[in-house]
Each structure stands twice: as C-alpha cells, then as structure tokens.
Amino acid sequence: MARRETALQAAQGRLLDLIGSEFHPGDKLPNERELADLLEVSRATVREVLGQLAAEGVVRRTWGIGTFVHEPAGRVPVAIGDVTALRDRITASGHRPALRDATVSRVACPGDCADVLGLAPGAPCWRVDRLFAVDEVPAVFIRDHLPLRVADRDLDPSGLLSIDLDMFEFLAGATGMPVRRAEIEFAAVLADEELTARLEVPAGHPLVNGTQIGYGSGDVALFHGHLTVRTDILTLKISRVG
C-alpha cells in the first residue's frame, strides 16, 4: 500500500509540474493515453491522479469533452448560525455561486423525511435536487424533501430550478410562513457512486453531510434535506450566541 501511494504521489507531482510549466488556466490537457506516455505510468494511474486533482480543484473534468486546468477556487467560509441563502453566503465571501444542476420531482417520501414532515411513509412529496458550484467547481449537493401542501396551500417548487430563488425565500412566499429556525446535524461520509458523479470527486473521497430541518412558526417542519459538502471548497463555521 505504501509503495502504491508513493507511486501515485510521484505521478501527481510530475503532472503538477507539467501543468505548471506547459499549461495555463482554461487549457485542455492531453487525453489519458497521452498523459500516461508523458508520465510513464498506466492509464489507470493517470485516471486516479486526475480524480485527485479534480477533487482539489486543480483541474476540471467534463464527461465526453476532456480535462481542463482550473484555478483553485479556494475555500469559502460558510457560517451555519443563521437562516441565510447559500447563494448569498458564497457571494459575500467574494466568490461566484452557480447552480450547476437542479431537478424537481414528485416522489414517495422516504421514512426519515416522512416522520419529520408529519406524512405517512411513502406518501407523495416533492424532492428537489440542487448542485451548487463555487467559481465553477461543484461544491455542495443538496437534496430536500417538502410536503405537497403547507397550511392549505399547494407548493410548486419549480422556481427552485433557478439560483435566483433560495429554499428559505421560496417557502416564505409560498406558505406565508418564513423559516424561523433551521437545525442541522453533521456527519463525515465517503463519496459513493452518486456523490462521485455529482461533486466530481474520486470514490471514497471524504465529505461532510448535513441533515437539515427547517421550521416555521409553531415549530411546523417545512422541509427536510441532506446537503453534502466538499470541504476543500467550503469550510463550515458554527457560531453560538448566548
């Protein structure tokens, strides 16, 4: 294992030297076969090294197009002490937020979400998937579940397909009940197949997962979600007042 890690580190070092001397931000790198020849390693090693560099924000990989040199986004500090749009937190740190991908679908509510939202297990609910990027690097994948109706009002979360509408803003307008309080519980996780594809990190890459519940007045649960964060892009800050 130690010998393999040393070989990978050496290959990564040679590739970083090549990027620093021959390429500029935005340049497309040679394909895996050409890089394997240049570095005198296998294509499997090149693929693993590129995955590591993509996770660190050194390169950006686009399926079917190629691998490009990318300026590291740097870490964006995100405070988890107030109910504020993620978009605004990223912007306030001097970085560019983007909604890389977003979908809204009607699904059977998972058991853990149903308990929180006061629904029967398997009852229909909305699922909203959103992938946020920081300076074009995928940084946070969020999957939220919401009831179809709140306070006798039908919810239509299709507006969340735009970065211009945040979950908290949407709920305040759609229900007349702003999110008064959000609770979040963190756990360390390793990237599975879905997160590898979403966040462009290698399998087993360490990530932070947060389970978040947003409450309106009267402690009515308005949404239940999971957000998974690349901590090489975002740092999480928790403040306690009192």
Domain boundaries in the chain?
2-69, 76-237
Instruction: Examine the pLDDT at 121 and tell me if it is beyond 50.
Output: yes
Q: Which residue has the higher pLDDT, 237 or 217?
A: 217
Sorting pLDDT into bands at 50, 70 and 90, what band is 182?
A: confident
Structure confidence at residue 238 (pLDDT):
54
The CB-side HSE value for 242 (13 A sphere, CA atoms) comes to: 2
Q: Which residue has the higher pLDDT, 14 or 157?
A: 157
User: Distance between CA 24 and CA 77 in Å, rounded?
Assistant: 27
Structure confidence at residue 72 (pLDDT):
53
User: Distance between CA 221 and CA 118 in Å, rounded?
Assistant: 8
Judged by average pLDDT, the poorest of 9-23, 196-210, 214-228 is: 9-23
Structure confidence at residue 237 (pLDDT):
62
Angle at 201 between CA 225 and CA 41, to 5 degrees: 170
User: Distance between CA 57 and CA 70 in Å, rounded?
Assistant: 7
> Which residues lie across from 61 on neighbouring strands?
67
Structure confidence at residue 199 (pLDDT):
95
Structure confidence at residue 92 (pLDDT):
65
Sorting pLDDT into bands at 50, 70 and 90, what band is 241?
A: very low
What is the CATH code of the structural domain delimited by 2-69? 1.10.10.10
Q: Which whole number is the average pLDDT over 208-221?
A: 89
Instruction: Examine the pLDDT at 116 and tell me if it is beyond 70.
Output: yes
Structure confidence at residue 239 (pLDDT):
46
Question: Rounded mean pLDDT of the chain?
Answer: 84
Instruction: Examine the pLDDT at 168 and tell me if it is beyond 80.
Output: yes
Structure confidence at residue 151 (pLDDT):
83
Class of domain 76-237: alpha beta
Q: Do domains 2-69 and 76-237 have the same CATH topology?
A: no
Instruction: Examine the pLDDT at 242 and tell me if it is beyond 50.
Output: no
Q: Which whole number is the average pLDDT over 140-165?
A: 93
pLDDT in tens, 66-106: 888 876 555 665 554 444 567 777 776 678 889 999 999 99
Q: Which whole number is the average pLDDT over 38-45?
A: 88
User: Distance between CA 180 and CA 63 in Å, rounded?
Assistant: 41
Q: Which whole number is the average pLDDT over 121-148?
A: 94
C-alpha 115, offset from chain centre: 25
Q: Which whole number is the average pLDDT over 35-59?
A: 83
Structure confidence at residue 81 (pLDDT):
47
